[in-house]
Amino acid sequence: MFEGIGAELIWDGTDEVRIPEKMGAPREGQMEGTVAERITELAGRVCYGSLGSKRSRSSAEYIKHILEVGHLSIAEHYNATVEIDGSVELLGTIAIVALNRPWFWVTPIGPDSVRITANCRAVMEWNSWTRVLNEHMPSYPVETAAHIGTLLREQFSHLAPRLIKGPHVAELSMAQQQLEIKQVAVVAPKTDAEKWITLYTYGSRGLSHEAVRHGDFTAFSQRSTRYCSEGKSSWVMHPIIQQYMTDGVDDVEGMIRREEIKSFIEQAQDIYTTWVKRLIPYIKGRIDPEDPYAKTTARKQARGAARGFLGNALGTELVFSASVLQWKHVIRMRAAQAADGEIRVAACQALAACKESQYGDSFADLQLVEADDGTGLMLAGGGAS
């Protein structure tokens, strides 16, 4: 186990949303609501470091604020599968309507039945994407798309009522009649593409820069260096440096090495803190004094500018969601022998967390062995190169 690097299970399709101890504990009024709403809230809390803060919003207020400002990336973490049974033309209809939409996985189960797996954001922005597709695709079936969106919005409004408002009864009835719908229901996921797992992942900024390259059927929410003050935040040493610090050295040599790194971190933190304080009044002086958000804007901009003085080893945390299909791909790539030591350690921790989930059997073929370079574990067989 390497200090400051790891992954823990948050959600695996059950009614339980696990709150990582490292994130803290919610205060009264936080982490309330449905599973979908709690996952969405937790993803947002990791960005702002606000879980449990006395000054932070309640669950209801937080979701309302997110809708007002349109920061909808946190609504990408919760995915559900909806099965639709209808007329014989339904499969072709869904294929055209869903074409080029992000975040959708469509599984045909017959000429008149399909399964659609999507996240909350995909449903929330359905109409926006319909307008985009209509502009760029000749003869796009706008009316049919609206009806499909109505069916999905109805189902997801029960899963996340604070996020998604259900359609009017007349609107829903019209959609069902026009599409000759027999039944629509949220169903349990069957395939690895329909099953989703959410993990809490932590390490250095260097690790997160590598992790976000896996964008297919994933969702990321990461601690913000603009909203969060990083003057006293921990730094995470690369596993090789952690090993080197203790490998074959006496107490005196080890102390010298630790003091060397400590001095560098403290110097960087001092420069960061000094420049944040220096820049806030400078930026405020350039903003309209009547702007009610002038103070907040100045603070965010100052932190954003000064974060450049902090190292790539600055500690960070993410809520990282992916389909089981994509998690297996990520682990095969990142737990491989050729992967960087830090992301390999995190990927091995992610594999352990995924195996703890209710979908653990899907990862049975992925086994770990001692890494050839002596840095933790790696995927048996070397993994992807």
Instruction: Give pLDDT, residue 385.
Output: 47
Q: What is the pLDDT of residues 82-107, one digit of tens each?
A: 999 987 678 888 889 999 999 999 99
The reply to whether 280 falls in a domain is yes
| Total structural domains within the chain | 1
Residue 245: pLDDT band (50, 70, 90) is confident
The reply to whether 256 falls in a domain is yes
- Decide: 91 and 114 in contact? Cβ < 8 Å: yes
CB-hemisphere CA count at 13 Å for 22?
Answer: 21
Instruction: Strands of 68-211 (E only): list them.
Output: 79-85, 105-110, 113-119, 183-187, 196-204
The reply to whether 252 falls in a domain is yes
Instruction: Give pLDDT, residue 88.
Output: 67
- Decide: 241 and 345 in contact? Cβ < 8 Å: no
The reply to whether 295 falls in a domain is yes
Mean pLDDT value across residues 349-359: 98
In the block, which residue shows the tokens 């390497």?
2
- Is pLDDT above 60 for 252? yes
Tokens describing residue 39: 């996952």
- Contacts of residues 34-38 at CB distance under 8 Å and 24 or more positions apart, as own/partner, are 34/159, 34/160, 34/161, 34/162, 35/11, 35/78, 35/159, 36/78, 36/80, 36/120, 36/156, 36/159, 36/160, 36/163, 37/63, 37/160, 37/161, 37/162, 37/163
- Is pLDDT above 90 for 345? yes
Rg (CA), the chain: 24
Q: What is the pLDDT of residues 96-142, one digit of tens each?
A: 999 999 999 999 988 889 999 999 999 999 999 999 999 999 999 99
Q: Which domain holds residue 302?
A: 239-309
Instruction: Give pLDDT, residue 220.
Output: 95
The reply to whether 248 falls in a domain is yes
The more confidently predicted of residues 294 and 89 is 294
The reply to whether 267 falls in a domain is yes
State the CB neighbour count (10 A cutoff) for residue 214: 17
Mean pLDDT value across residues 41-62: 95
Q: What is the pLDDT of residues 305-334, one digit of tens each?
A: 999 999 999 999 999 999 999 999 999 999
The reply to whether 257 falls in a domain is yes
The reply to whether 255 falls in a domain is yes
Sign of CA dihedral 92, 93, 96, 99: negative
